[in-house]
Amino acid sequence: MSTHSPFLLRTLQADDTAALLQFELANREWFERHVAPRGAAFYSHDAVQAHIDQALAEHRAGRYHPNLLLDRRGAIVGRVNLKDIEAGRAEVGYRIAQQAAGRGAASAGLAQLIALARAHWGLQTLEALVAEGNPASARVLEKAGFVCVERMTALAEIAGVSRNGARYRLALSAATAD
């Protein structure tokens, strides 16, 4: 692990099913307060394995880079992904465990993802979507150099309520390399 961060970003692996299911189940209620829910069918060993298989197939095709964010003990504390990789750009998506919130996990994971986007994928632009009611996520993006470029209506349904949101963008040539 980096001496700068107690968190390590690593690519999702086929044998992460049990640990990922445990992470998702332990944080389901927390996540559903901030992002659109996955649906009840997701929370089984077979469904999570299918999710991993699909994510890794998209990774092999060069369209997705699924990652886990691990703490010093190797426990999953988050997911930090590059999605829809195409034509020099990708969308950033992340979810951080409740017990890791406010401890710098999202910022550390995003910094490592930005480095991965540059070094491995050669990307020029990253974008992220944030729903209203999630100011911590917006702060993480802004701290990393992302700028709000668009306000959006009906971005997501969270906890049964339609939420507006915002699109953030980072030009990687302008981002600071940590």
Amino acid at site 122: G
Q: Residue 49: which of 10, 14, 95 has the closest Cα?
A: 14
Please tell me the predicted confidence (pLDDT) of residue 101.
87
Q: Between helices 105-119 and 135-143, what is the axis angle to 10°?
A: 50
Q: Tens place of pLDDT for every residue, the chain, 178 residues?
A: 444 678 999 999 999 999 999 999 999 888 877 666 687 888 899 999 999 999 999 999 999 999 999 999 999 999 999 999 999 999 999 989 989 888 999 999 999 999 999 999 999 999 999 888 778 889 999 999 999 998 888 877 766 767 778 999 999 975 554 4
Please tell me the predicted confidence (pLDDT) of residue 69.
97
Q: What is the CATH number of domain 8-171?
A: 3.40.630.30
**pTM to 2 decimals?**
0.87
Please tell me the predicted confidence (pLDDT) of residue 161.
67
